[in-house]
């Protein structure tokens, strides 16, 4: 096969085998956590009709990768052999929410509601690549969707699922920030501002431009000095307990929607205080997504890496999808796995103990005896021990180096008077039988560990 | 979100949650088997430059899905904001071999050779959809690639990995058919035919058109009556042991390449007779792929579903990739998972016991007591038991129906005087504590079973 020169494509991340083992560990932990919480897996096709992808309006279509058969494009003049010439224009999905909404509508009669699903897939966006932004990346989503109305308790449960997953991963300290769309909406209305969406968009710039610039923008948009101050005061409120309620009340704004929002956010924080204290924080400056979410919203930061933005976001929406007769409200949260690994693997903060699943290398004494080594490997595998057989009956020193190079901890030597197994880290070698020997549990799979960044 | 009407896209298969659980089981078993055999996982980006994809020549480009940013296409007049206007045209990969070859070249300096990798990903082909053929499908590949030369024993090991995986899956009886390129090549040359590739292409039609039509085509291509008979005689040879050697010898053709091929195929069959007797069959009519493979080739059929074609194919190649200085010979085999599930799930031959990972539904006595049910669920989850909490404090009958509808086997009732758990299949209800109760191991995960097709 002639393959020509090889160059990476900007924005498309690929891992080496030892890095992929880190990614697999993250995927396994996330999947297992989602399943422990009773979410069922689905996967959707990679493509959707472009008109569905672009349905949200705005300039999102600039980020969509269109997909079309090359043969079809080149055959544009002809038509006889184009069975799909009438097919809709297709694009790669840029998130998992749009395809999930379509899947729910398509299969509504065959799904049991409330439907709790998780979906772990790649998505594609034609954005300009930059640190932490990729053109192809993996998202890990959970959503609960119901018909008609959705119980409020699900809004409290979603971030706790993520907290369970993150607590089992070597990602360091993290904070899940929560807000509720009804709080700023009711508050802004209560102080006499009517352009809710516009005000949210300005407040969303707080982290980027600071409070003075936000004040100027609010004034430019027609807010009074007092209204601007009140907006900034609300945005500065933050608490890991129910303290945020008193702080909002102290601003002296009365509004029914505001009160609903405070009660809803209190329920979320309270559930978190029972489940995993300190991990959820009410943070009233969170504004991103509040223009399309209708209730709780979530963002997640890794402590010390705040400038990387949110690694896990989501919220409550009243109409994920609608087929005209039936609405499907839901709540969802999405882990940006590739962004997280781009940081942790890219910066060398997390590492796998080896580059292969094999825990044991079975040495080969001579090529004539290869079947004996293969039988030892088969015996180990039948008891769930991943192993490899040396590729050549080279000198044992060379076979040991094969294991060393890959981080395989044990080398097995078939012997006339019984086999021996050597831990090549310690050098300790002991007699062993393939029918009953086991490596220590910690060595059975590659281990994943946090690397001290100070070293 | 306005989503308009919803219609499936021909050739793009999607599963319902209970079907996806079958797929996950297959993926898990295949991955675990690959890892037990010491293959390391990699994943490659979904796109490659079109010129690399089309590199094999022929009309394969007709099947390639081209990918381009919609914004870019529409902006074709402008250029200032097109940072990637100079980028190569991209297409979705149509197999995992082309991207793997590119990955090996790109990372050659950072990989340890021989490099054993597995890769489980979706691929896309713009072919006309038909039974067993999809436009988006998942392939599960293993390859061993080395620098310079590749040891012959790997050719014997590849199909045994697949046999191990298939033996653990509810797919019924299967046969892995093996041939070696050198056998027909040497044989054809030995009887005086020089157009090896052309002859192979004709013999490849045997299953489709039968021996009489193949004979006619061979004669049309210039073969003598005796040569055509010899070709058909060779193609009729098949044995699950070394019997094929005698049968070939009985045809009285002497050729050095033929002898090499017989010895190589004997080694493959012999290793299989030790490892999993009866699963590998030497079948000398296998010709598909022999024009680009250089040694052993594999095809796999499910007994009773021969008309569906091969579910797992591959072979030995002398140059997977080459960077001009270094050649990378290899051997690989690829499981067509989507085709297999399209049959087994599509025809209802394999079924999951439930549509959710949850083994237990924790009932909710009243919304005020929801936190108590959540604590029970957390206790069960902390011991690895997947569970769900009832979405509403409805009557217990309704909560039980929630479990029934999803196939969740157990419902947990929090009680004033201690909890109880009910197996809703048998109706048996017993006292239980969330700190130590376990479901039977068989109920912990959804089970996957073969459905008797005669029922």
- Please check whether residues B226 and B116 belong to one and the same domain: yes
Which of A38, A55, A370 is closest, CB to CB, to B2?
A55
Chain A residue numbers with beta carbons less than 8 Å from the beta carbon of B388 are 37-38, 116
Mean per-residue pLDDT, A174-182: 96
Band (pLDDT 50/70/90 cuts) for residue B323 is confident
- Report the alpha-carbon distance of residue A102 to residue A377 in Å, rounded: 47
- Residue contact B36–A406, C-beta within 8 A: no
pLDDT at B129 (0 to 100): 79
Band (pLDDT 50/70/90 cuts) for residue A339 is very high
pTM, rounded to two decimals: 0.95
- Report the alpha-carbon distance of residue B320 to residue B329 in Å, rounded: 6
- Report the alpha-carbon distance of residue A150 to residue A104 in Å, rounded: 15
Mutate to test the interface with B, among A22, A34, A40 (most CBs of B within 10 A): A40
Mean per-residue pLDDT, B226-235: 97
pLDDT at B88 (0 to 100): 72
Which of A68, A378, A389 is closest, CB to CB, to B66?
A68
Give yes or no for a contact between A326 and A108, defined as CB atoms under 8 angstroms apart.
yes
- Report the alpha-carbon distance of residue A248 to residue A269 in Å, rounded: 15
Give the DSSP letter string of B167-228: HTSS---EEEEEEETHHHHHHHHHTT---HHHHHHHHTTHHHHHHHHHHHHHHHTT--HHHH
Check which CATH number belongs to the domain holding B387 and give it: 3.40.50.800
pLDDT in tens, B159-178: 999 999 999 999 999 999 99
Query: Any chain A CB within 8 A of the CB of B326?
Result: no
pLDDT at B453 (0 to 100): 64
ipTM of the complex: 0.94
Residue among A156, A167, A154 at smallest CA distance from A279:
A167
Tokens 């422990």 locate to: A36
Percent above pLDDT 70 for chain B: 93
Give yes or no for a contact between B104 and B26, defined as CB atoms under 8 angstroms apart.
no
- Please check whether residues A40 and A169 belong to one and the same domain: yes
- Residues β-bridged to residue B389: B362
Which of B107, B136, B386 is closest, CB to CB, to A46?
B136
- Please check whether residues B173 and B283 belong to one and the same domain: yes
How many Å is the maximal CA-CA distance in chain B? 91
Mean per-residue pLDDT, B184-203: 95
**Nearest Cα residue in chain B from A370:** B153
Domain assignment present for A118: yes
Whether residue B79 is predicted with pLDDT greater than 50 in this model: the reply is no
Domain assignment present for A7: no
The distance of A420 to chain B (nearest Cα, Å) reads 20
pLDDT in tens, A347-376: 999 999 999 999 999 999 999 999 999 999
Number of residues written out for chain B: 455
Domain assignment present for A1: no
The distance of B321 to chain A (nearest Cα, Å) reads 6
Query: Any chain A CB within 8 A of the CB of B357?
Result: yes
Whether residue B332 is predicted with pLDDT greater than 50 in this model: the reply is yes
Residue among A268, A262, A243, A242 at smallest CA distance from A190:
A262
- Report the alpha-carbon distance of residue A92 to residue A90 in Å, rounded: 7
- Please check whether residues A343 and A378 belong to one and the same domain: no
Span between the terminal Cα atoms of chain A, in Å = 44
Q: How many CA atoms lie within 13 A of B419 on its CB side?
A: 23
Whether residue B62 is predicted with pLDDT greater than 80 in this model: the reply is no
Helix %, strand %, coil % of chain B (to 5): 40, 20, 40
Contacts 24+ apart (CB under 8 A), B364-369: B364/B389, B364/B390, B364/B392, B364/B393, B364/B399, B365/B393, B365/B413, B365/B414, B366/B393, B367/A153, B367/B392, B367/B393, B369/B393, B369/B414
- Residue contact A52–B4, C-beta within 8 A: yes
Whether residue A186 is predicted with pLDDT greater than 60 in this model: the reply is yes
- Please check whether residues B29 and B166 belong to one and the same domain: yes
pLDDT in tens, A433-445: 999 999 999 999 9
Domain assignment present for B159: yes
Mean per-residue pLDDT, B72-86: 47
The distance of B209 to chain A (nearest Cα, Å) reads 25
pLDDT at B1 (0 to 100): 45
Sheet of A296-302, strand order: A40-41, A115-124, A136-145, A327-336, A312-322, A296-302, A174-180, A280-283, A238-239
CB count within 10 Å of CB B260 equals 16
Domain assignment present for B386: yes
Range from A30-34, A89-93, B218-222, B450-454 carrying the lowest mean pLDDT: B450-454
Residue among A94, A83, A115 at smallest CA distance from A52:
A94
Mean per-residue pLDDT, A66-85: 60
Chain B residue numbers with beta carbons less than 8 Å from the beta carbon of A41 are 17, 20-21, 24, 357
- Please check whether residues A275 and A368 belong to one and the same domain: no
Domain region containing B280:
17-46+97-350
What is the average pLDDT score of chain A? 92
Domain count, chain B: 3
- Please check whether residues B360 and B287 belong to one and the same domain: no
- Please check whether residues B314 and B239 belong to one and the same domain: yes
User: Looking at B350, B367, B397, which one is the last position of a domain?
Assistant: B350
Which of A41, A70, A355 is closest, CB to CB, to B62?
A70
Domain assignment present for A292: yes
Q: In b/e form, how buried is each residue of A26-60, taking b as 16+ CB within 10 angstroms? A: bbebbbbbbbbbbbbbbbbbbbbbbebbbbeeeeb
- Report the alpha-carbon distance of residue B149 to residue B151 in Å, rounded: 7
Query: Any chain B CB within 8 A of the CB of A107?
Result: yes
| DSSP code at position B147 | S
Give the DSSP letter string of B329-350: EEEEEEEEHHHHHHHHTTTT-E
Which of B45, B101, B386 is closest, CB to CB, to A38?
B386
- Please check whether residues A150 and A246 belong to one and the same domain: yes
Check which CATH number belongs to the domain holding B284 and give it: 3.30.930.10
Tokens 């089309």 locate to: B54
- Report the alpha-carbon distance of residue B329 to residue A154 in Å, rounded: 54
Band (pLDDT 50/70/90 cuts) for residue B61 is low
What is the average pLDDT score of chain B? 92
pLDDT in tens, A78-95: 444 444 445 679 999 999
- Please check whether residues B413 and B333 belong to one and the same domain: no
- Report the alpha-carbon distance of residue B256 to residue B250 in Å, rounded: 16
- Residues β-bridged to residue B281: B177
- Residues β-bridged to residue A69: B65
Band (pLDDT 50/70/90 cuts) for residue A321 is confident
Domain assignment present for B374: yes
Stretch (H or E) spanning B17: helix B17-36
- Could you tell me the two tokens for A160? 């706790």
The distance of B317 to chain A (nearest Cα, Å) reads 10
User: Looking at A350, A379, A402, which one is the last position of a domain?
Assistant: A350
Q: How many CB pairs under 8 A join A and B?
A: 286
pLDDT at A132 (0 to 100): 79
Percent above pLDDT 70 for chain A: 93
Residue among B176, B364, B384 at smallest CA distance from B265:
B176
pLDDT at B31 (0 to 100): 98
- Please check whether residues A85 and A142 belong to one and the same domain: no
Range from A12-16, A21-25, B128-132, B305-309 carrying the lowest mean pLDDT: B128-132
Residue among A160, A192, A216, A180 at smallest CA distance from B374:
A160
Q: Is A123 helix (H, G, I), strand (E, B) or coil?
A: strand
- Please check whether residues B432 and B299 belong to one and the same domain: no
Domain assignment present for B10: no
pLDDT at B58 (0 to 100): 46
């Amino acid at each position: 096969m002639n393959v020509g020169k090889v160059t990476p494509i900007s924005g498309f991340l690929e891992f080496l085998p030892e890095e992929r083992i880190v990614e697999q560990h993250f995927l396994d932990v996330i999947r297992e956590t989602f399943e422990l919480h009773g979410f069922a897996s689905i996967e959707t096709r990679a493509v959707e009709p472009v008109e569905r992808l672009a349905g949200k309006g705005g300039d999102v279509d600039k980020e969509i990768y269109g997909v079309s058969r090359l043969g079809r494009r080149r055959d544009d003049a002809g038509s006889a052999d184009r069975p799909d010439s009438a097919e809709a224009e297709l694009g790669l999905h840029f998130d998992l929410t749009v395809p999930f909404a379509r899947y729910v509508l398509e299969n509504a009669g065959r799904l049991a509601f409330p439907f709790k699903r998780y979906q772990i897939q790649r998505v594609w966006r034609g954005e300009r690549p930059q640190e932490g932004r990729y053109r192809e990346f993996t998202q890990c989503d959970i959503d609960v969707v119901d018909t008609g109305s959705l119980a409020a308790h699900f809004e409290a449960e979603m971030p706790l699922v993520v907290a369970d997953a993150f607590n089992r991963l070597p990602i360091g300290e993290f904070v899940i920030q929560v807000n509720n769309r009804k709080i700023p909406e009711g508050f802004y209305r209560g102080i006499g501002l009517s352009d809710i969406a516009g005000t949210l968009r300005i407040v969303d710039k707080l982290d980027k431009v600071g409070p003075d610039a936000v004040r100027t923008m609010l004034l430019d948009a027609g807010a009074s000095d007092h209204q601007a101050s009140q907006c900034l005061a609300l945005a500065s409120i933050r608490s890991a307990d129910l303290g945020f309620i008193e702080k909002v009340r102290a601003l002296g704004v009365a509004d029914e929607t505001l009160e609903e929002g405070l009660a809803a956010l209190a329920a979320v924080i309270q559930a978190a205080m029972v489940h995993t204290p300190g991990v959820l924080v009410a943070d009233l400056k969170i504004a991103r997504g509040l223009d399309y979410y209708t209730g709780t919203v979530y963002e997640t930061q890794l402590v010390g890496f705040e400038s990387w933005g949110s690694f896990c976001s989501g919220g409550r929406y009243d109409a994920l999808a609608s087929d005209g007769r039936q609405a499907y409200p839901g709540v969802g949260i999405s882990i940006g796995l590739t962004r997280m690994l781009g940081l942790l693997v890219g910066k060398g903060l997390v590492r796998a103990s080896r580059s292969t699943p094999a825990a044991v290398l079975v040495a080969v004494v001579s090529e004539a005896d290869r079947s004996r080594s293969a039988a030892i490997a088969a015996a180990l595998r039948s008891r769930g021990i991943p192993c490899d057989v040396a590729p050549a009956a080279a000198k044992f020193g060379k076979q040991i180096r094969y294991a060393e190079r890959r981080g395989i901890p044990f080398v097995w030597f078939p012997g006339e008077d019984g086999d021996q197994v050597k831990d090549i880290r310690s050098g300790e070698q002991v007699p062993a039988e393939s029918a009953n020997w086991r490596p220590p549990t910690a060595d059975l799979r590659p281990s994943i560990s946090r690397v001290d960044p100070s070293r």
